[in-house]
Chains A and B, each alone.
Chain A
Amino acid sequence: MSEVLVEVRNLRKYFTVERDFFGRPTSVLKAVDDVSFQIHKGEAFGLVGESGCGKTTIGKMLVDLYTPTSGKILFEGTDLTALSPEKRRAFCKSIQLIFQDPYASLNPRMTIGDIIAEPIKINHLLPKDQIEKRVTYLLNCVGLANHQRNRYPHEFSGGQRQRVGIARALAVEPKLIVCDEPVSALDVSIQAQVLNLLDELKDEFGLTYLFIAHGLNVVKHISDRVGVMYLGKLMEIAPKQELYHNPLHPYTQALLSAIPSIDPTRRKQRIILSGDVPSPINPPDGCRFCSRCFKSFEGCDREGPVLREVSPGHFAACRLFQK
């Protein structure tokens, strides 16, 4: 494997939901609870899980929108969590974010040309007279025409707006782009276009992606390795092919069985999970998934499994594979 670009170590993010009279937290939401993983240079690491499992929180911690409660984020060996705010901001040139909702992520009072030029201007990446040219180039890269640069975001469709969002992220020439469900707000025909565009740009700009999605089918298209999250914890990490053909964790198996297939011979038994996702405010002791797991056995509700390498490159956090 190539060198590690980002390493996340025991990352935690707790949100205080309630405080007592003296300001002491009485109820804490564990959005991300002890998550560790690595992303290698040039790969696309997919992160999947249901709504509210903490995947977006991880993405936002990487771009400094949230401050981790504890844990480390190592970017090319530098611990980002230990830096002063001023130094931390300098890393925005290396890590960028593509937002989920292209309708909300563009300032309605700026033209798209200004939106794309802004990151170049405020980071002083280019002399003034070259910015224009660079914006033209970026617009071309994402498949927008140069004559559209003086228009406002509301004049564009969802797919076009997402292209503007991608161009803005590319403007600072980042090394890592966190794609926070970049296609889930788009309709299906546009999803494929945007995914292909992201795939192409990855090679062109030598990018690394953390690709967050709530469905395995989108991640399958673009990722090299996939991590599966449930209720703030990583359940399984494996290379894409391995994960799709040999899912180890019962939760992953259930997720995969939920992907619709048009091939009748490949239709598998659908695993229907009973119950709802427990509240992350008071997560179950032991394994987070045990209350809905169809393979749980004696002790799962008391003893939490740790993420361990079951076969080379394939990690799972399940007591079925602890020994």
Chain B
Amino acid sequence: MKQKKAVRPQTEPSAQAVALLEKPESQFKEMWDSLRENKAAVLGLIIIAFLALVALIGPFLMPFDPDQSNMSQSFRWPDGTHWFGTDQLGRDIFSRIISGARISLTVGLSAVAISLVVGVVLGSIAGYRGGKTDTVIMRVMDMMLAIPSILLAIAFMAALGKGIDKAVIAIGLVSIPEYARIVRGCILSVKENDYVQAARVIGNRNSRIIFKHILPNVMSSIVVRATLGISTAVLDTAALGFLGLGVQPPAAEWGDMLGRARGFIFTAPYTLIFPGVAITVTVLAFNLLGDGLRDALDPKSRKN
């Protein structure tokens, strides 16, 4: 009648498997191993580490005072003394770029941190609860999206006052809707999955279901968006700076340098090229890392 033997196939664990069992690898280590194999991600990480180092020990690397203008030295082409040339006020561009790394990285990271935390919380609540909660949260987000983000940031700046810290808050606030929408969309697609229902059946609370079962499965999209968001934040700071609302002169900020030098694009292209390259490299590094993280965070694409 019933083939009882077939019910429970028993396999003897191999020596290697037993060794594996004794030392269960932490998830972080597995992710790290996977990330290390991705050459592009490693390159991104190296650039970011380099930028972070420059931001930290910048003052010791600068050959000149980045804020000291010297009209007699203005518009010098790059040479042995001024590696990246000098700008319209005779300030050393190399020193200003080093000085700007600190501002750009801080602004990018903190603005994204603000919008990420608030956006993830709002998006999760909206997506998971649904119904009226969803409608209220998402309509508010739509209202924020309806106003061009830079205009909204200017409005926030007008209310908060000038300064780089206020700029960070303003840029963080205006990009909340983007994160909220992405997170809500991801949660809507994941929450109907059987494993989320299974999590409810075994007695999980809603908060644990969101953080343990839903968010890890939508992390990849959020991480990728956040790395892109850092670059957007850097550019937004530049725009605010150009309008005189972000960094206050003479502080050096890449986007601000780019904006102020745009009139000299034909006569002194180096005044634009070097800040532009700095922004591009930073953005690229975060994007490479983001892509690598997305793959590393997904156990399915991990190589054994």
Please give the residue numbers on chain A whose beta carbons come within 8 Å of chain B beta carbons, in ascending order.
Answer: 63-65, 89-90, 92-93, 96-97, 99-101, 104-109, 118-119, 122-123, 140, 142-143, 145-147, 149-150, 152, 154, 165, 168, 171-172, 192-193, 196-197, 199-200
Contact = CB atoms under 8 A, between A and B. Distances in A.
B20 A147 contact: yes
A104 B194 contact: yes
Interface string B3-18: 1101111111110011
A122 B204 contact: yes
9 contacts: A92-B202, A92-B203, A99-B198, A107-B195, A118-B199, A143-B8, A145-B12, A147-B18, A168-B198
Contacts of B6: 192-193, 196
Contacts of B143: none
Contacts of A165: 198
Given A107-B213, A172-B202, A192-B3, A197 B8 contact: yes
A63 B201 CA distance: 6
Contacts of A171: 202
A175 B301 CA distance: 39
Contacts of A152: 299-300
Contacts of B21: 146-147, 149-150
B195 A196 contact: no
Interface in B197-225: 197-205, 208, 213, 216-217
Contacts of A90: 203
A70 B187 CA distance: 30
Given A104-B193, A104-B195, A146-B21, A199 B202 contact: no
Contacts of B200: 64-65
A45 B170 CA distance: 61
A140 B198 CA distance: 22
Interface string B176-201: 00000000000000000111011111
A140 B205 CA distance: 29
Contact of A122 (B11, B14, B197, B203): B203
Contact of B217 (A109, A118, A172): A109
A105 B208 CA distance: 17
Contact of A105 (B8, B13, B25, B198): B198
Main DSSP-derived SS at the B contact region: helix
Interface of B: 2-4, 6-14, 17-18, 20-21, 24-25, 193-195, 197-205, 208, 213, 216-217, 299-300
A89 B203 contact: yes
A108 B217 contact: yes
B202 A65 contact: no
Given A97-B201, A109-B217, A154-B299, 14 more contacts: A64-B201, A90-B203, A96-B202, A104-B195, A105-B198, A106-B198, A109-B216, A118-B199, A122-B208, A147-B17, A150-B21, A150-B25, A152-B300, A196-B2
Contacts of A196: 2-4, 6-7
A83 B14 CA distance: 50
Contacts of B299: 108-109, 152, 154
B221 to A, nearest CB: 14
Contacts of B8: 140, 142-143, 197
Contacts of A89: 203
Given A108-B300, A196-B2, A145 B202 contact: no
B7 A197 contact: yes
Given A92-B201, A104-B194, A146-B13, A193 B20 contact: no
A145 B14 CA distance: 11
B199 A107 contact: yes
Contacts of A200: 4, 7
Contact of A97 (B9, B10, B198): B198
A93 to B, nearest CB: 7
A221 B201 CA distance: 26
A106 B213 CA distance: 10
A163 to B, nearest CB: 9
B195 A106 contact: yes
A102 to B, nearest CB: 9
B217 to A, nearest CB: 6
A200 B201 CA distance: 23
Contacts of A104: 193-195
B13 A145 contact: yes
Nearest to B23: A150
Contacts of B193: 104
